[in-house]
């Protein structure tokens, strides 16, 4: 475990976090030594990446195969006009280092599949699912269960969103709730149904908080709990979810290998 040098600049940078009794110097060192992989640098991944960088996460991996588009800027706050046309991982890396140059950033300009995901997630302690389609979300769930990696799930559409944290072998996984991706064209996309940009910021911030709780061991992460949010009514629902022993992924006869899912409509 690396030790923070605790330079005058570091003490000032992290002072408001270190003041928290549940974090302190030891908690900040845990954050400094943490390795977090953010998959998807869109509406959810943008605030996650920025807040984790600001908090002092030592190493961040960034996964996204897309480039920045003008339509992204309404909600993907890590990108700006000057980034249009460049890979999202490059744009995000530049912003992270502008916020905190101490963060080590590794980029993966690729789309995840059953052949590359396990190798990528193996180098990280906590995984963040900020992706925009069911095929990748289920694949991330399956890979994290096999690799025994805790991860945060998030999804948004229109004026609402959902999030939960998963601790493999102990809490319910994504497939315990939804089993499989829905049939094609049964769920609207962000392109057809829209998304309020601030909702992405809200849910992404919750995911960032979950990651920091998991890293430091404080509080109660959303293990076995499904949190949904409606911005129009400003109501939250916190639903308890039990692990399904018959789950096709994490159950007693769960998966032992990975397979790709059919690429379905996005809902981010």
Mean pLDDT in the chain?
A: 94
- Specify burial of residue 261 (Cβ count, 10 A radius: 0-12, 13-18, 19+): middle
DSSP character at residue 167: -
What pTM did the predictor assign? 0.95
Q: Can you give the residue range of the structural domain that contains 234?
A: 34-240
Which one, of 85, 48, 81, lies nearest residue 208 by Cα?
48
Residue 62 sits in a domain whose CATH number is 3.40.50.720
Q: How confident is the model at residue 193 (pLDDT cuts 50, 70, 90)?
A: confident
Q: At what angle do helices 88-99 and 45-55 cross, to 10 degrees?
A: 30
Q: Which residues contact 93 (CB under 8 A, 6 or more apart)?
A: 62, 105, 107
Residue 255, domain member (yes or no) = no
Residue 234: closest CA among 206, 202, 205: 202
Look at residue 150 and give its three-state secondary structure: coil
- Count how many domains the chain has: 1
Helix axes 197-216, 45-55, angle to 10 degrees: 40
Note whether residue 5 is domain-resident. no
CA dihedral sign of residues 258, 260, 266, 267:
negative
**pLDDT tens-digit map of 160-172:** 999 999 999 999 9
In a domain, 183, yes or no: yes
- Give domain status of residue 158, yes or no: yes
Q: Which residues pair with 92 in a beta bridge?
A: none
Task: Note whether residue 257 is domain-resident.
Answer: no
CA distance 84 to 106: 21
- Per the domain annotation, does 213 fall within a domain? yes
Average pLDDT over every residue of 86-103? 98
Task: Please say whether the beta carbons of 109 and 218 come within 8 A.
Answer: no
Tell me the average pLDDT across 142-159. 96
Tens of pLDDT, residues 102-113:
999 999 999 999
**Rounded to whole angstroms, how far apart are CA atoms 200 and 190?**
12
In a domain, 18, yes or no: no
pLDDT at 194: 85
């Amino acid at each position: 475990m690396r030790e923070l040098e605790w330079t005058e600049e570091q003490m000032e940078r992290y002072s408001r976090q270190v003041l928290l009794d549940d974090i302190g110097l030891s908690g900040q060192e845990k954050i400094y030594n943490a390795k977090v992989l953010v998959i998807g640098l869109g509406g959810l991944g943008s605030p996650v990446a920025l807040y984790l960088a600001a908090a002092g996460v030592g190493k961040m991996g960034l996964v996204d195969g897309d480039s920045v588009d003008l339509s992204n800027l309404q909600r993907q706050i890590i990108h700006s006009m000057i980034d249009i046309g460049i890979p999202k991982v490059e744009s995000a890396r530049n912003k992270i280092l502008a916020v905190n140059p101490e963060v080590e950033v590794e980029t993966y300009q690729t789309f995840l599949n059953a052949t590359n995901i396990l190798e990528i997630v193996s180098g990280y302690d906590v995984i963040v699912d900020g992706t925009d389609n069911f095929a990748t979300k289920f694949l991330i769930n399956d890979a994290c269960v096999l690799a025994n990696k805790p991860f945060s799930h998030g999804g948004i559409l229109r004026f609402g969103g959902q999030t939960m944290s998963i601790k493999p072998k102990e809490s319910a996984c994504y497939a315990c709730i939804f089993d499989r991706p829905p049939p094609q064209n049964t769920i609207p996309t962000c392109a057809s149904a829209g998304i309020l940009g601030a909702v992405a910021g809200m849910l992404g911030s919750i995911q960032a908080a979950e990651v920091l709780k998991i890293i430091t061991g404080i509080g109660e992460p959303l293990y076995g709990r499904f949190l949904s949010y409606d911005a129009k009514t400003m109501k939250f629902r916190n639903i308890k979810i039990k692990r399904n022993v018959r789950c096709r992924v994490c159950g007693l006869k769960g998966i032992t290998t990975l397979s790709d899912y059919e690429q379905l409509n996005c809902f981010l």
